Amino acid sequence: MGTVYWITGLSGAGKTTIGKMLYEKIRAKYPNTVFLDGDMLRKVFGEDLGYSMEDRKKCAMRYSRLCAMLQEQGMNVICCTISMFDSVRDWNRQNIQNYKEIYVKVSMKTLRRRDQKGLYSGITTEKEKEVVGVHMNIEEPKCPDLILENDGERTLEEQVEKILEGDLGIPMLGNS
């Protein structure tokens, strides 16, 4: 049976970067591992939803249902998504076996400094004007399985090792 690693946090927190390295490490030993990213999934689903709170929640539920389906088929799923809704995470916990929630937490100061997509400096496209954490309130995870503080104090490798060493149900990669 697979495991879902739901990596959540605000845009620019480092979810995708951490998730990709985690994917590479787990997939090296367990080929039944897939990597999903919120931006990538929006394209896969046809970009038919906008960025309103309602559309974001619908989008997040699509990701949740997809993760549940893949996990039921024995896949390990690493899903990197903002999805900052208690109701979505509650659904995941109730409907996905082996669900592991990892919250990548970053200060607003760090997010503004990184600002890879121009979201925090106000240089955004019309469809992205409502930025989660700036224009829209977030529902910060209340009981994630792991919180990664990602303000630059730890390297990428250290962050991924923290996940691998944590008690998240990941079989130790050095053991058979």
Q: What is the pLDDT of residues 27-49, one digit of tens each?
A: 999 999 999 999 889 888 888 88
pTM of the model: 0.83
**34 inside domain:** yes
Give domain status of residue 50, yes or no.
Answer: yes
Residues 6+ apart with CB under 8 A from 131: 11, 119, 120, 124
Q: What is the CATH number of the domain that holds 39?
A: 3.40.50.300
> Residue 115 corresponds to which tokens in the numbers above?
């600002």
- Residue 62: inside a domain: yes
Mean pLDDT, all residues of the chain:
84
121 noted as active-site residue: no
More confident residue, 153 or 63: 63
Exposure class string for 12-43: b at 16+ Cβ within 10 A, else e: bbbbbebbbbbbebbeeeeeebebbbbeebbe
In the structure, what pLDDT confidence band is assigned to residue 127 with cuts at 50, 70 and 90? very low
In-domain check, residue 176: no
Contact 149, 9 (CB under 8 A): no
The active-site residue out of 64, 83, 87, 176 is 83
In a domain, 144, yes or no: yes
Structural domains of the chain, count:
1
Q: Containing domain of residue 40, as a range?
A: 4-165
Residue 173 lies in a domain: no
